[in-house]
Amino acid sequence: MITESHFPPMNTPTAFPADSLKIGTRTFSSRLIVGTGKYKDFAEMQSALDLSGAEVVTVAVRRERLFNDKGQSLLDALDLKRYTILPNTAGCFTAEDAVRVARLGRELLEQLGNPGASWVKLEVLGDKKTLLPDPMGTVEATRILTAEGFEVLAYSSDDPIAALRIKQAGATSVMPAGSPIGSGQGVLNRSNIVLCLELLKQGDASYPVIVDAGVGAASDTAVAMELGADGVLLNTAVAHAKNPLLMAQAMRHATIAGRASYLAGRIPKRLYASASSPWEGTISYIPGE
């Protein structure tokens, strides 16, 4: 396993200014949000979360098992003092159900005294096969939950206008999908993500836009960050990697690298080459000269 010591520190004082992720009333130093699902066991999940450097982790709300021993519970495995828990409404296909689940998630996190109680990762899905979001239902649920005092982080398609409508409905953050949940296809439409960023941040540069879903490898995370996303949310890419702990570290560094690259400002793309070595003093034959 690669440990932190294999990666030299990149944040020399002049290279990487202090840079935090602000979502509504909260501030985080990590821009990576990870899920807690699909791990082989809780021990592996705990290590992956730790190595990812994430401060926010997502969870789902589900029925208690009745009349049998519960066995190990996620809540026994999660350090609730360390992580801000972001409850999702995964599995909801109507605004009404998403609102119900959001309220139940808030109740649970209030009981646990976790600061995640007042926010929700809103998912209103339109189709079970693609898990693509229903923009109408998302807007409707965002309006209701915002009125109830929730800070809504809304899963959206990468359609810039749908994303804008969700922001206008009151979402604290809009989270466009790179590609379908768990698909590992990465950021399929970079132009749409750039347009989402432009529209959502117009006159509101600090509005947080998080690319949620579709990440398959660390390069996908770096691309999303490099495009200017404020953060990346992922689960399957780590949990189902051949080596989840190594991938958790890769995602951590990809988030940092992508952000640094965005802040540093990439060179424009050019059709033709631009020599890095000077022509002057060349002793060789140069075609055309």
Partner 1 sequence: MLLINGQRCDVPTAADGQITITALLEHLKLASVPAAVEVNKAMIPKRQHTSWQLRENDAIEVVTLVGGG
Residues with catalytic function? 121
Judged by beta carbon, residue 35 or residue 133, the one nearer partner 1 is 35
Q: From the CB of 108, what's the least distance to partner 1, in Å?
A: 5
Contact call for residues 214 and 220 (beta carbons, < 8 A): yes
Residue from 56, 59, 166, 177 touching partner 1 (CB under 8 A): that is 59
Q: For residues 75-104, which are near partner 1 according to CB under 8 A? A: 75, 85, 87-88, 90, 100, 103-104
Which residue from 32, 39, 193, 221 is in contact with partner 1, where contact means CB under 8 A? Answer: 39
- Confirm or reject binding of residue 181 to partner 1 (CB under 8 A): yes
Question: What region, left, alpha or beta, does residue 71 occupy, with left being phi > 0 and alpha being psi -120 to 50 degrees?
Answer: left
Residue 84 bridge partners (DSSP): 56
Radius of gyration of the chain (CA): 21
Encoded amino acid at 135, one letter: P
Is residue 142 at the binding interface for partner 1, with CB under 8 A as the rule?
A: no
Taking CA atoms, 87 is separated from 123, 246, 279, in Å, by: 10, 26, 59
Among 93, 108, 164, 201, binds partner 1 (CB under 8 A): 108
| Interface mask toward partner 1 for 208-247; x: CB under 8 A | -------------------------xxxx-----------
Q: What are the angstrom distances between the C-alpha of 38 and each of 53, 60, 155, 239? A: 19, 12, 19, 6
119 and 88 Cβ atoms separated by less than 8 Å:
no
Pick the closest to residue 232 from 56, 60, 90 (CA basis): 56
* Minimum gap (Å) between residue 14 Cβ and partner 1: 37
Nearer to partner 1, 110 or 198 (CB): 110
The length of the chain in residues reads 289
Backbone angles phi, psi at 123, to 5 degrees: -125, 120
Among 16, 28, 60, 93, binds partner 1 (CB under 8 A): 60
Contact map string, positions 263 to 282, toward partner 1, x by CB under 8 A = --------------------
Which residues bind to partner 1, rule: CB under 8 A? 35-39, 45, 58-64, 66-67, 70, 73-75, 85, 87-88, 90, 100, 103-105, 107-112, 181-182, 233-236
